């Protein structure tokens, strides 16, 4: 018999709220929001602006929630995962994962080169050059117009005060804080700092706990032994706190993303379409098709790598992660997808503890989508501007730069554009060429985010298979005996 308390209105309301976290409801709401974000500013441009202005509030709240909770999840998951590897003597698991993810990023840039080479011979390079030149000329023209306007105001002034006003206005403009440099943007990436601190704390905590264990066993007096045990207990308490914090932060982010993401999608994507219009897609269609084609090639490459190294069905992985990939496409926020990717990979037969730190690590350094995007754009812009293909030395430098900057772009809004401004001068393109991409960056960013998340999921599954942490029967659909089930449960509990 059901409890009368369970049937009260508040309880049912809470139950309905938490039901938003289910994959079916989330995909349904995101799909509707995605359609509304496109149709509303496209068909009802006059009406759409005030509605989209109102939607900026949930969009900003969504960004704030993700910015606060994602680093907490990344730190707690990565710290406990790495520390567990170090405590069990398996440091090679951590360094093996880092090497694997860096190799995937470098492979993405290498794949970008033949795509860029072939595409550069067939694209309208004169149009791309005009886009680049247009942004350079626009900057110069705006500066000349501003100076001319100031001179005109001074020449027509009726009093000294009126003449000096534009000069003081220009002085105030000059003293305004300048746009942040690449380094400043990098230092503001909370997710990167969370990863850095997690790795550092894990190694320091492991070294200290081993030191306290030795001190407790070799203590000459009971008082020294008790002191060492207290310090060891304090370290274990901090680890237990991180273990407790991780699921709390994940469940909180689950709920808030489910509630806020549909409104955030309408506010962010709708505002871009309202500002630039859908015609921007046709104006940049060659670049958009090229970038998405390159992203598709890398996705297929990850399919093949997963099939060969993990020996599982990658189509099954795709089917089980479609909710997370749709969320990535809609929100273009890899941090918001973090807990969903963890849940999906765990359902694929990977132990929770292994999943957590692999996804957290991959979300920071396994940025395949960002790497291949920067490689392709740098290649075709360089050819369009200089008329020459890159030489071997420059391509080698580009592989290194794109891999490193892809890691640096993690957690930075429009991070790819920021770091392209550093890469462009190295391949003979003016840094201001990034503004030619600004109208379509919101669309390209969604493709990059989907591939980044797909790389994190397939990477975690592949690394789990390489470390014998994967129950392959889940993805391959093979019958499982009771002995295999018991062994898998023992492995996850351990």
Count: domains in the chain: 1
Q: What is the CATH number of the domain that holds 118?
A: 1.10.3860.10
CB neighbours of residue 235 within 10 Å? 16
Per-residue CA distances from 176 to 165, 172, 182, 184, 186 (Å): 17, 6, 18, 16, 21
C-beta of residue 140 within 8 angstroms of C-beta of residue 435: no
Task: Please work out, in degrees rounded to the nearest 5, the angle formed at the alpha carbon of residue 407 by the alpha carbons of 401 and 411.
Answer: 135
Helices vs strands, H then E, count in the chain: 21, 0
Scored b (16 or more CB within 10 A) or e, 125-135 reads beebbebbeeb
- Asked if residue 150 is part of any domain, the answer here is no
List phi, psi (to 5°) of 442: -65, -35
- Asked if 377 and 420 touch (Cβ cutoff 8 Å), the reply is yes
Alpha carbon separation from 346 to 352, 356, 452, 460, 464 (Å, rounded): 6, 9, 18, 10, 11
- On whether residue 148 sits in a domain, the answer given is no
State which residues form the domain around 81. Answer: 32-139+190-493
Residue 489 lies in a domain: yes
In a domain, 10, yes or no: no
pLDDT digits (tens), the chain, 494 positions: 333 333 334 444 444 544 544 555 666 777 788 788 878 887 777 777 788 777 777 777 777 777 777 778 778 877 887 777 677 656 777 788 888 998 999 999 999 889 988 888 887 778 777 777 765 554 444 444 444 454 455 455 555 555 445 444 544 444 344 444 444 444 445 666 777 788 888 888 888 888 888 888 887 778 877 888 888 888 888 888 888 887 788 777 777 777 777 777 777 777 777 776 666 666 678 888 899 999 999 999 999 999 999 999 999 999 999 889 988 888 777 777 888 898 899 999 988 778 877 887 887 788 888 899 999 999 999 998 888 888 888 888 888 888 888 876 765 656 677 778 778 888 888 877 877 787 788 788 888 989 999 999 999 999 999 888 888 888 887 644 455 445 544 544 44
Query: Is the residue at 165 inside a domain?
Result: no
Q: Which helix (H) or strand (E) holds 481?
A: none
- The token pair at 78 is 């990565």
Asked, for residue 359, whether it belongs to a domain, the answer is yes
Phi, psi of 449 (to 5 degrees): -65, -40
To the nearest 10 degrees (0 to 180), the angle between helices 438-466 and 222-276 is: 140
Task: Classify residue 397: in a domain, yes or no.
Answer: yes
Q: Is 116 domain-assigned?
A: yes
């Amino acid at each position: 018999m059901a409890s009368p308390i369970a049937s009260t209105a508040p309880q049912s309301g809470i139950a309905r709220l938490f039901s938003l976290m289910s994959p079916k409801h989330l995909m349904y709401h995101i799909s509707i929001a995605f359609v509304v974000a496109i149709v509303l500013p496209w068909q009802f441009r006059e009406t759409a602006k005030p509605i989209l202005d109102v939607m900026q509030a949930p969009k900003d709240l969504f960004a704030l929630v993700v910015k606060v909770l994602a680093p907490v999840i990344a730190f707690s998951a990565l710290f406990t995962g790495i520390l567990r590897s170090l405590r069990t003597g398996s440091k090679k698991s951590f360094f093996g994962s880092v090497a694997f993810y860096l190799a995937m990023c470098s492979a993405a840039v290498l794949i970008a080169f033949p795509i860029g080479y072939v595409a550069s011979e067939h694209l309208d390079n004169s149009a791309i050059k005009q886009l680049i030149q247009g942004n350079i000329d626009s900057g110069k023209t705006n500066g000349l117009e501003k100076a001319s306007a100031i001179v005109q105001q001074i020449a027509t002034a009726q009093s000294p005060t009126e003449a000096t006003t534009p000069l003081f206005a220009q002085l105030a403009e000059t003293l305004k804080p300048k746009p942040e440099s690449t380094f400043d943007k990098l230092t503001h990436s909370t997710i990167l700092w969370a990863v850095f601190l997690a790795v550092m704390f894990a190694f320091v905590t492991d070294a200290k706990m081993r030191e306290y264990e030795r001190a407790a066993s070799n203590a000459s007096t009971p008082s020294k032994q008790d002191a060492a045990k207290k310090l060891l207990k304090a370290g274990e308490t901090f680890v237990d706190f991180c273990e407790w914090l991780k699921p709390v932060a994940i469940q909180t982010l689950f709920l808030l993303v489910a509630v806020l993401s549909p409104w955030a999608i309408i506010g962010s994507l709708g505002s871009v379409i309202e500002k630039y219009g859908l015609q921007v897609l046709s104006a940049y269609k060659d670049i958009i098709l090229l970038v998405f084609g390159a992203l598709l090639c890398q996705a297929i490459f990850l399919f093949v790598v997963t099939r060969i190294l993990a020996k599982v069905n990658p189509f099954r992985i795709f089917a089980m992660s479609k909710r997370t990939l749709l969320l990535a496409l809609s929100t273009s926020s890899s941090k918001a997808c973090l807990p969903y990717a963890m849940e999906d990979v765990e359902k694929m037969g990977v132990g929770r503890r292994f999943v957590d730190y692999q996804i957290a690590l991959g979300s920071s350094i396994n940025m395949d989508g960002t790497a291949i995007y920067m490689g392709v754009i740098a290649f075709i812009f360089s050819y369009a501007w200089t008329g020459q293909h890159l030489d071997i030395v420059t391509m080698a430098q580009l592989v290194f730069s794109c891999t490193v900057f892809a890691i640096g772009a993690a957690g930075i809004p429009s991070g790819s554009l920021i770091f392209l401004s550093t890469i462009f001068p190295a391949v003979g393109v003016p840094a201001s060429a990034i503004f030619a991409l600004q109208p379509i960056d919101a669309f390209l960013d969604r493709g990059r985010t989907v591939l980044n998340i797909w790389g994190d999921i397939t990477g975690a599954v592949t690394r789990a298979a390489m470390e014998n942490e994967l129950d392959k029967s889940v993805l391959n659909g093979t019958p499982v005996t009771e002995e295999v089930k018991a062994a898998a449960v023992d492995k996850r509990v351990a």
